Structure 1
């Protein structure tokens, strides 16, 4: 724990102007980003007596080892820079909202020649217009199914579209009138794009004018005694009205607004957003966050708006944003929102009428979301804490291992030897930190030697990162210069408190020896053997046996199983590539690209053996001389003994992929 006075800047060094500041820990990792109208006044608040600080703020300043700042011209620039740095550095002490579910949106791919209507999840893409998000994907599909009668826009995938164009016949939707079939030229690209734009206009809330136009066309067709056309228009109007009824009318038709509500307690907060377009609720979403920094409702609202609109532009930012409390720098935030939209945006608290009533509904949803989240997660938080405490007690650690790394070796009878490294922080998997290794120094079935190599490579990279940042020098006591560091996460920069290896005493000894050779003595090592789920420690003759009901043992099993899964996944991908081109590996002068091209062209090595030299020459990049070499090599090579699936007894040839869990996989991948 660092003393904040050890890195406190002199008061005269801090400028009295707007800016953004960063706190870094001892590993130069950015742990907190903030902005201020006056950097001098704001930073002075962090370096007062610890007893006067909020407990979360005190934890942050004692975890930090340095502070730095960047001066900007205006508060809006500070807001933009703060948002950029939070997205870039992912600081652990900043509020980070996490979606409590994945919300689907209705998307129209206007960037394509023939726009497509589809359900999309995940990050937004350029050239795509989104509507929603919605609570359920089936609700989107029901709405789209009703609207395709009036707006028969393409909904098929690229593969189906291409296939229909090749055979000259549309898919089923084209035959039943729910697609204009641009794949076979029934509609021009220009007319199809106009149809997609009309669909977007209707979904954006401009419904009244379109319905009026259809009604006028229906009456005109009736007067001209075109009764079939009038009946079709009548049915179209009915379909559109049914689609509109799925979204409740809550405000005036011209209202475009987002309503943000917050429900919170001392530890967590839930945010709910209702998206109102054209007076109707078009979408809803929610977030939940741990309050890792001292923040009030206004601060939570500010962070929520940054996350909600940080990647949005144009009409995705509404004309009006209704909130329960105005942030401290509301004018700067309003100016930032206006810049994202390209026109004026109103940020205010609703005081009366329908908007205040709807805000109360949104707030009730936020309260229910927080209550549901606590019901689901309360036991998880308690269980994870107990598991870490049990591990620390069983392994005689000074503190709970907040970062655990697990290593596993995987191979198939000594071939394609690979290793995995998975990371758990605070008892949860951190998949962005996962790494995989290919064993390079030798080939064969030697898990102990492989484990030594992998642990050595991982921690050698860690020492290299420390050397680069000046935190460690090869000579004890030598003070080396500290190069500039940008604070971005490095691949192996952060050490764990505990290393877990998949195996027993030999693997544990190999990992401990690797750390000792590098001079690392502050990282604990243990192994978890599969047979009896025993925990082995370096230098101990007997294992540590945790109770079967132990939460600590359960966490170690989860970590080990995740490392095993990740290693097998990598090993199988390498094995699959090798099986496809295995007989071609001995052909001189044939690189990986051309081997893959040959197998892709003929479908399998077996069919390639049966091909003539002229047929082999048809493969792009294969000349006659190479084709003759390939044919001669395959003819001389004796076919390998067929592999047998031990689970079914089935004989597998070159065209049969090896299924998961066959042969001696489980015995050799430990």
Structure 2
């Protein structure tokens, strides 16, 4: 624990201009990023009497070992730089909003020749247009089911679409009129895209023009004695109106706005957002503040609003509406509004609704935030208790000086010594942190102990190199130096673990310990978890540590080990599939490395390549009909001769 007075900069050396500052710990890792209108005033507040600081602020300044800053010219520049640094360094004491669940969206794959309508979760992809998010996936499917009779766009997967084209028959939706069946050529690509464009316009809120157009077409059909067509258009109008009824009108003036509300206590906070487009609630999302973030009693709602706006609208794919309605304006409201205006390319209003429908909607969002926050706390209470107990039990059983807040586990995967890979998974505070997972392709030959030694050496050699780099940086930057700072260290590994777990028993632990001793790493606890009896092996001990079968500590170690095994197996299968594909293609005359690579890029796997026709292969750059037919024939012969191999240790069928 550092004494803040040991690195406190002299008051006169701190500029009074606006800027952004970083606190770093002893290893050089950024632990907090902040901005200030006056750097001198803000930084001096951190070096007050420790007893007068809030516990989390006190923890931050005692964790840090130095502070740096960069001067900017405007508050908008400070906001942008602060957001970029938070994204770049991921500081542990900054507020970080994470989804309290995965919200589905209605996605339209405009990047495909025949766009598809589908339910999607997770990160957004380029070339795909999204509507929502929705609270429930069934709400999207209900909306789609109603709208497909009006906008009969494709909803099937690529595999179903391809098979329908091959056999010349559409799926059921094509027969009942809920798909225009572009797979069999009932409509052209341009006609199908126009259907999709009309659907996107309707979902974007341009409902009145669509309804007027259908009413006009219905009238024209009726006057022209086309009664069947008029009846179909009448049913389409009914479907459109029913889908609109499911999205309640909350703002009659057709407002485009995001309405944000918070529920907080002294330890955490939750936020709910209603996305209102064309006066209708089109989507809803919720987040929670990480419990390890720098939230404290002094954190006002305005500060939470500022952090949320920076993180949510700072994303590359964020949609900025004309209005952002919040419960309290942050201190830098004008700068935030200017930043949002720049991102939208048009004026954005950031304000607190005072009366009328918008005030009523804000109260509704507030009630949703409070309800979601209550459910979150009830759900996390038992989970947090169990994780804390597991970490405490591990600390006691392994005689560790501190609880293992960061655990790294390593596993090896191979089949009879081929395609050998290793995985590293990371658990922080008892939870998987998948962004820190790493995988390795083994370079040495031998057995499990040799491969464990290799992966441990590669991981901790990199750790020592990072330490040397950070030491060099710290030596060249004085505690109070201002101005441009060094580039961020590579994020291949974040920082060293408290506990290293290897999948195996005493031999694997001994191999890993020999490497750590060779590298001079002595401040990390090492154990191995043997599968058969779930024994915990520690270095230089003749007998394992036996944890009770019902202990939370053993359950956590098992979850970490199983996750490492899953991650290693997944990577191994990818490597094996690629090597099998290359080996089968290598013997085909006229198929050099460039053409093999082109085939893999086009068909992605041997399975997909075997199912491809000669015409599809001939369409790949560098292939003609003769070579394509040669590839098809060779793969068919190889499939007939191939017999499945079995991994005797796992019973897994290979190939």
SS where residue 12 of structure 2 aligns? helix
Distance of aligned partners of 1:165 and 1:66 in 2 relative to their CA distance in 1, 3 Å threshold: same
SS in 1 for 2:565: helix
Residue pair 1:412, 1:665 contacting (<8 A) in 2 also: no
Could you tell me which residue of structure 1 aligns to residue 481 of structure 2? none
Deviation at 1:125, TM superposition (A): 3.3
SS in 2 for 1:423: strand
- Helix, strand or coil at the partner of 2:95: coil
Which residue matches 2:313?
309
Per mean C-alpha deviation after superposition, the further-off stretch among 367-376 and 302-311 is 302-311
Where relative contact order (Cα < 8 A, 6+ residues apart) is larger, the structure is 2
User: Which is higher, the Rg of structure 1 or of structure 2?
Assistant: 1
Change over 3 Å in CA distance of 1:131–1:322 after alignment to 2: same
* Deviation, structure 1 residue 398: 1.0
Quick check: 1:369 aligned with 2:366? no
Cα offset for 1:101? 1.4
1:513 paired residue number: 514
Give CA-to-partner distance per residue, 1:471-526, whole Å, 9 cap, x none.
699xxxxx899997423453245211222222222222222221111112111222
What residue is the counterpart of 2:414 in the other structure? 411
Q: Which residue of 1 aligns with 2:33?
A: 33
2:392 to 389, 395, 412: 389
Deviation at 1:331, TM superposition (A): 0.9
- Measure, in 2, the Cα distance between the counterparts of 1:387 and 1:171: 52
Match of 2:227 in 1: 227
Is 1:567 paired with 2:568? yes
Q: Is the 8 A contact 1:23 1:31 kept in 2?
A: yes
Query: Residues of 1 paired with 2:495 and 2:377: CA distance?
Result: 31
- Tell me the alpha carbon deviations over residues 571-623 of structure 1, each in whole angstroms, 9 at most, x when there is no partner: 3444444555668989999977777899999979xx9xxxxxxxxxxx95999
Pair 1:337-2:340 in alignment: yes
Q: Among residues 354, 359, 378, which one is paired with 1:351 in the alignment?
A: 354
Aligned to 2:615: none
Q: Structure 2 CA distance, aligned partners of 1:262 and 1:602?
A: 47
Asked whether 1:655 is paired with 2:642, we answer: yes
TM score, norm. by length of structure 1: 0.83
> Residues 218 and 355 from structure 1, CA distance in 2 versus in 1: closer, same or farther, beyond 3 angstroms?
same
Displacement of 1:158 after TM fit? 4.6
Residue number in structure 1 paired with 2:616: none
The number of residues matched between the two structures is 624
Question: Structure 2 vs 1, CA of residues 352 and 419 (structure 1 numbering), >3 Å: closer, same or farther?
Answer: same
Separation in 1, partners of 2:229, 2:566: 61
Quick check: 1:313–1:341 contact (8 Å CA) kept in 2?
Answer: no
Q: SS where residue 118 of structure 2 aligns?
A: strand
Matched, 1:529 2:530: yes
Task: Give the structure 2 partner of residue 67 of structure 1.
Answer: 67
Contact 1:579/1:654 (<8 A) preserved? no
C-alpha distance in 1 between matches for 2:591 and 2:203? 55
Conservation of the 8 A alpha-carbon contact between 1:170 and 1:184: yes
Structure 1: distance between partners of 2:424 and 2:604: 36
Aligned counterpart, 1:129? 129
1:251-650 correspondence to structure 2 within 5 Å: 251-291=251-291, 292-293=293-294, 294=296, 295-311=299-315, 316-441=319-444, 443-444=445-446, 446-470=447-471, 485-492=486-493, 494-579=495-580
* Distance (whole Å) between structure 2 residues aligned to residue 459 and residue 33 of structure 1: 28
* Cα deviations by residue, 1:207-259 (Å, 9 ceiling, x for unpaired): 22332333233334334433333222211211111111111122205122211
Structure 2: how far apart are the matches of 1:603 and 1:51? 65
Aligned partners of 1:165, 1:653: CA distance in 2, in Å? 27
Contact 1:23 1:68 in 2 (8 A): yes
Which deviates more, 492-501 or 113-122?
113-122
Cα 1:278/1:530, change in 2 over 3 Å: same
How far does residue 271 in structure 1 lie from its aligned partner after superposition? 0.8
Structure 1 residue 332, shift from structure 2 partner: 1.0
Contact residue 313 and residue 340 of structure 1 kept, 8 A: no
Indicate conservation of the 8 Å contact 1:104/1:132, yes or no.
yes
* Superposition pairs of residues 137-216 of structure 1, within 5 angstroms: 137-161=137-161, 171-182=171-182, 186-187=186-187, 190-216=190-216
In structure 1, C-alpha distance between the alignment counterparts of 2:346 and 2:452, rounded to whole Å:
59
Measured in 2, the distance between the counterparts of 1:601 and 1:210 equals 41
**Partner Cα separation in structure 1 for residue 156 and residue 3 of structure 2:** 61
Structure 1: 5+ residue stretches without partners: 474-478, 608-618, 640-651
Measured in 1, the distance between the counterparts of 2:460 and 2:279 equals 58
Distance 1:419 1:215 in 2: 63
- Per the TM alignment, residue 260 of structure 1 is displaced from its structure 2 partner at its CA by 0.8
Residues 550 and 490 (structure 1), Cα distance of their counterparts in 2 relative to 1, 3 Å cut: same
Q: How many angstroms does 1:420 deviate by?
A: 2.5
* Contact persistence 2:391–2:430 (CA under 8 A): yes
Displacement, 1:164? 5.5
Gaps of 5+ in 2: 479-483, 611-621
Task: Decide whether the 8 Å contact of 2:269 with 2:289 is kept in 1.
Answer: yes
CA contact (8 A) 1:470 1:481 kept: no
* Deviation (angstroms), 1:286: 0.7
Assess, with a 3 A threshold, how the Cα gap between structure 1 residues 16 and 508 changes in structure 2: closer, same or farther. Answer: same
Q: Structure 1 residue 564: deviation in Å?
A: 2.6
